[in-house]
Chain A
Amino acid sequence: MRKSFIKALTDLASRDERIFLLTADLGFGVFEEFSRRFPSRFINTGVAEQNMTGVASGLGLSNKIVFTYSIGNFPTIRCVEQIRNDVCYHELNVNVVCVGGGFAYGALGLSHHATEDLAVMRAMPNMTVVAPGDPVEAALATKAVYETPGPCYLRLGRAGEVVVHKSPPRFEIGKAITLQDGKDITLIATGGILPTVLKAAVVLKQQGMSARVLSMHTLKPLDAESVLAAARDTGKIVTVEEHSVIGGLGTSVAEVLAEAAGHQAVLKRMGVSDSFCHEVGNQEHLRKVYGLSVEGIVSESKKMIDNNFRERTQK
């Protein structure tokens, strides 16, 4: 995702001189082309995320379009007040980019687990929150946040993710992408866990169950229509996110369902339980600890579908 982001951004910057890219001293080996082609619009602000975000705001107040970049929690939680007061309150076209959403830097430790960022960013007024599911979505999301006039948070995975979309899908902020239709259950994914969710749907199909799969790449504004359609059509929803179950995708979907009359569905939120991860390991390993694996998603889905069958037969 990181490569598709920087490729898309470099392309945009060649056509729009207002684009600035600020990094807090991360992205070694990633920004060479951008910095060579646009040296005055590439600023390594040093290891100072609060200042980076303030500087981005000053540029934004001067009609520039700014991308701030760092990894994990550094471009977000480290400078959350600058994002709130400076970027969001002034409604600037400042796009905060995180590489390493979820457990992408898992083995580096707790400091590098970005597992509350979506909740925090989603709470910010004026903020659009986007977490693409694969490199294709990441490129399209980069262009979309550039075109969105206000502040955006772009949460990326790392590098070398599986490509889910064989051809570029129609990508619109606030509109989920349906990867496959199904009638027994709906699996909704946000961010880099998407390929795993899609694989789980394949396994379910092999076992005779049909799952609708949505890539909910935009967490805010949430595509409530797709959630309600899923409730109506399948009655069962599993949300899957590499993030705390508090405040992210599962919460967003629950909010929509709770407030919508006549669209009740059974919901299971899969994600990181309200805890710090003490297990040491890479992304795949840590995902498994929280059940964010093909097996884990299949197992939770089957439980919901089975319960439903049991209820029906009891009636």
Chain B
Amino acid sequence: MPENSCEVTARQIRIHVLEMVHRARCSHIGSALSIAEIVAVLYDRILRLDPSNPDWDLRDRFILSKGHGCATVYAVLAMKGFFPMEWLDSYYLDGGRLYGHITHYGIPGVEASTGSLGHGLPIASGMALSGKSDNASYRVFALLSDGECDEGPVWEAMLFGSHHRLDNLTAIIDYNKIQACGRTEEVLDLEPLAEKVSAFGWAVKEVDGHDCEEIESVLSAVPFEDGKPSCVIAHTVKGKGISFMENNVLWHYKAPDDDELRRALEELADRE
């Protein structure tokens, strides 16, 4: 089956991510790979943005609350022309521009810096509240990790979003089911997650977080209910796309060596 354009974007993102993380010898590649399709669909089809005017008042806002997955977002921002592709070359490296957790400072297209978990949804809620207050048409999207949902402020913001009827706010949870030290069900079980979020007053949908068409169809349908914030629980695979990285907590930390990079790029090329 031929790839649709979002699948092409996701594959290109993965190539950049592999090269960036390999060069930098840094961690979090598994977390970056699991959101490739979500980020590709957001930037290809959903977010109303103007790369030549990143501060446009009515732009949609996207907050990467799982700041450690930033390689994916930096890659797509460069691909969309927010900043030069060369900036990716010095990701995480001495004297470079791009930190290892997403950073707004001097980086066009990044709305807010994160890195400590549980900060993004409250910030996104403030932006959504401001939009409501101004009768502005923009929407706010926040992408969270599953491990991040251990943090109290996520649930404070969940209470806040529904209480204030922020239906211009969408939270996407990258539910790859592996957090820093193990499987979420073993560390601190989130289940039943959809029921929990729903009980907090959000309209919830679950998707295959690697099926671009499904993601697009769901994200095109926000708000799912008028007067309620929307939550998309995206079932994903940590390290998705590279067979030997998938579903393995080791790739929360490890960077691919030369041989692993070659094999990973070959796997992606085979799918072209």
Contact = CB atoms under 8 A, between A and B. Distances in A.
Interface of A: 40-41, 43, 45-46, 48, 50-51, 53-64, 81-82, 85-86, 89-90
B156 A58 contact: no
Given A58-B130, A59-B130, A82 B113 contact: no
A55 B111 contact: no
Contact of B119 (A59, A63, A85): A85
Contact of A82 (B119, B128, B134, B163): B119
Interface of B: 104-105, 111-116, 118-119, 121-131, 133-134, 152-153, 156-157, 159-160, 163-164
A85 B116 contact: yes
Nearest to B127: A58
A89 B118 CA distance: 16
Given A40-B133, A64-B130, A85-B115, A58 B160 contact: no
24 contacts: A46-B156, A46-B159, A46-B160, A46-B163, A48-B160, A50-B122, A51-B122, A51-B160, A54-B119, A55-B123, A56-B126, A57-B112, A58-B123, A58-B126, A58-B130, A59-B129, A61-B126, A61-B127, A62-B127, A62-B130, A63-B130, A85-B113, A86-B119, A89-B105
B79 to A, nearest CB: 24
Given A48-B153, A58-B129, 14 more contacts: A43-B129, A50-B122, A55-B129, A57-B112, A58-B127, A60-B126, A61-B126, A62-B131, A63-B130, A81-B116, A82-B153, A86-B122, A89-B105, A90-B104
Consensus secondary structure, chain B interface: helix
A61 B112 contact: yes
Given A55-B125, A58-B122, A90-B112, A48 B156 contact: yes
Contact of A57 (B126, B128, B134, B156): B126
A161 to B, nearest CB: 33
Contacts of A41: 133
Nearest to A55: B126
Rank and list the top 4 A-B pairs by shortest CB-CB distance, nearest first: A58-B126, A54-B122, A62-B130, A51-B156
A254 B2 CA distance: 70
Contacts of A43: 129, 164
Contacts of A63: 130
A57 B113 contact: no
A205 B129 CA distance: 56
Consensus secondary structure, chain A interface: helix
Given A57-B122, A61-B111, A85-B119, A51 B129 contact: no
A56 B119 CA distance: 12
Contacts of B113: 85, 89-90
A77 to B, nearest CB: 15
Contacts of B114: 85
A61 B123 contact: yes
B126 A59 contact: yes
A254 to B, nearest CB: 32
A21 to B, nearest CB: 13
Contact of A62 (B115, B118, B119, B126): B126
Nearest to B138: A62
Contacts of B128: 58
Nearest to A46: B159
A265 to B, nearest CB: 40
Contacts of A56: 126
B133 A54 contact: no
Contacts of A90: 104, 112-113
Contacts of B133: 40-41
Contacts of B129: 43, 55, 58-59
Contacts of A86: 112, 119, 122-123
Contacts of A55: 122-123, 125-126, 129, 157, 160
Contacts of B160: 45-46, 48, 51, 55
A223 B164 CA distance: 43
Contacts of A46: 156, 159-160, 163
A50 B126 contact: no
A53 B104 CA distance: 18
A54 to B, nearest CB: 2
B242 to A, nearest CB: 31
A51 to B, nearest CB: 4
A48 B153 CA distance: 8
B201 to A, nearest CB: 13
A126 to B, nearest CB: 12
A35 B112 CA distance: 29
Contacts of A51: 122, 125, 153, 156-157, 159-160
